[in-house]
Amino acid sequence: MVFPERFSNLPVATWPRLRALLDVPTQADEVINMTIGEPRHAFPAFVGDILAANLQGFAKYPDNNGLPDLLAAIGGFLHRRYDLKIAPDQILALNGTREGLYNAAMALSAETKHGKPPVILTPNPFYQVYAVAALSVGADPVYVPATQATGHLPDFHAVPDDILDRTTIAYVCSPANPQGAVADAAYWRALITLAEKHDFIIFADECYSEIYRDTPPPGALQIATEMGAHPERVVIFHSLSKRSNLPGLRSGFCAGGPQSIARIRALRAYAGAPLPEPLQAVAAAVWNDEAHVVENRALYHRKYGMADDILGHVPGYQSPQAGFFLWLPVADGEPAAVKLWQETGVRVLPGAYLSRDVAGENPGKGFIRVAMVAPTQEMQRGLTLIRDCLYG
């Protein structure tokens, strides 16, 4: 039996790897899970009623691209949030944004560029689907450090020109997972200018865009439109998982130039997994509503303040600009996570599990990622235990 080699060097996936690491006893009576970015805040109260009213939709095959009402609701969100006027054929409903981040690379990364194998750039640390997408299309993944020295965003201008000339796609996450850094308008303008020069597409993962402190993070497509960049230069990805506390709904979307979305739609007609129509009806109502988003953001504001109060004295602590993760400095993430689990029952994620070694260094090794998604009192207990155990 012959199997493909392209995935043979993948590290063990994040969550099985973490379960194996923490497969040791704890002396704590209570477990506090602060690993996964799965919001435990309330989702909108109207979700159940809308789902119940549309149950008959489970008897039909869903619309692969998104029902008109859903595409209109997403377009309305993009207009309110970014002042974008996006036609329905420039939007594609997704069964979770991870699916779109993967399939968009399958649809849009050329087989070669200038007669050479393509390159896909990804921040390091990063959301792991980026790397698997690169391998799936036969591209060389190039991991661009996103460290304190670079403002926790990838410095693509430091990539050599010969690599940029082979680049087909650059993934960027803003607000960043795991660091919570935000790409401002100047960052987007500089990156879009670089992409125009070297002719690659920017995949902007903006799934945390609605969780921020005071100023809404600018969007990549918003800035590209203001600049008059090539209409196919940017594809954006959004989700209801974080914005609306509905990770199990598996509802997201991508939007971009008409040719890009047409190509992703064409591939998805063969290999996609469309969202069931009752869930599309729910998603349309949720995208149309902003009141619950404002309430949710206010809750995260309180959590930011709580984290700052508890951990603000920690050397190297940086309060996140946005998102709901803390990226906490430690000597080494793995032993820190094990110590924390064994002594306190708090589970966190070693930063190296979100990164790759480059030139013998892993930019996530000296960190743990802490998700601030639990109910407020539970999160307060967890952060206090982290402080006392690792920094006391």
Max Cα-Cα span within the chain: 60
Q: Any idea how long the chain is?
A: 392
pLDDT at 7: 85
What residues contact residue 249 under an 8 Å CB cut-off, 6+ apart? 240, 241, 279, 282, 283, 286
pLDDT for the residue 87: 97
Instruction: For residue 222, give every residue at least 6 positions away whose Cβ sits within 8 Å of its Cβ, in sequence order, or none.
Output: 82, 83, 84
Instruction: Band the pLDDT of 2: cuts 50, 70, 90.
Output: confident
Q: What is the mean pLDDT of the chain?
A: 96
Residue 72 in this model has a pLDDT that exceeds 90: yes
pLDDT at res. 272: 78
Record the tokens describing residue 120, joined without a space.
């896909």
The arithmetic mean of pLDDT across residues 180-202, rounded, is: 98
pLDDT computed for residue 5 by the predictor = 84
Task: Output the pLDDT for position 42.
Answer: 95
Burial status of residue 63 (CB atoms within 10 A of its CB: 0-12, 13-18, 19 or more): middle
* pLDDT tier for residue 153 given thresholds of 50, 70 and 90: very high
Q: Who contacts 163 (Cβ-Cβ below 8 Å, separation ≥6)?
A: 119, 121, 142
pTM for the predicted model, two decimal places:
0.97
How far apart, in whole angstroms, are the C-alpha atoms of residue 373 and residue 324? 7
Cα–Cα distance measured from residue 208 to residue 229, given in angstroms and rounded to the nearest whole number: 24
What amino acid is encoded at 360 in this protein? G
What would the mean pLDDT of 321-341 be, rounded to a whole number? 98
Query: Tokens standing for 130?
Result: 């980026």
Q: Do domains 14-37+292-390 and 47-289 have the same CATH topology?
A: no
Which is more confidently placed, 3 or 365?
Answer: 365
CATH class of 47-289: alpha beta
The structure tokens listed for 371 are: 């998700």
Which pLDDT value is given to residue 340?
98
SS (H, E, C) 328-353: EECCCHHHHHHHHHHHHCEECEEHHH
Percent of the chain with pLDDT over 90: 95
> What would the mean pLDDT of 98-103 be, rounded to a whole number?
96
pLDDT in tens, 354-381: 999 998 899 999 999 999 999 999 999 9
pLDDT tens column, 35-66:
999 999 999 999 999 999 999 999 999 999 99
What confidence tens digit (pLDDT) does each residue in 108-146 have? 999 999 999 999 999 999 999 999 999 999 999 999 999
Measured CA distances, 72 to 69, 79, 167 (Å): 5, 10, 33
Average pLDDT value for residue range 306-329: 97
Give pLDDT, residue 1.
85
pLDDT of res. 354: 96
Give residue-wise pLDDT tens across range 250-305: 999 999 999 999 999 999 999 878 999 999 999 999 999 999 999 999 999 999 99
**Separation of first and last alpha carbons in the chain:** 54
Could you tell me the CATH superfamily of domain 14-37+292-390? Answer: Aspartate Aminotransferase, domain 1 (3.90.1150.10)
- pLDDT(11) > 90: no
Confidence of residue 3 (pLDDT cuts 50, 70, 90): confident
The Cα 334–Cα 351 span in angstroms is 8
**126 burial type by CB count under 10 A (0-12 exposed, 13-18 middle, 19+ buried):** buried
pLDDT number for residue 333: 98
Q: What is the distance between the alpha carbons of residues 59 and 134, in angstroms, rounded to a whole number?
A: 36
Confidence of residue 216 (pLDDT cuts 50, 70, 90): very high
pLDDT above 90 (res 8): no
- Which tokens hold the place of 39? 């919001």
Domain residues of the chain, as ranges? 14-37+292-390, 47-289
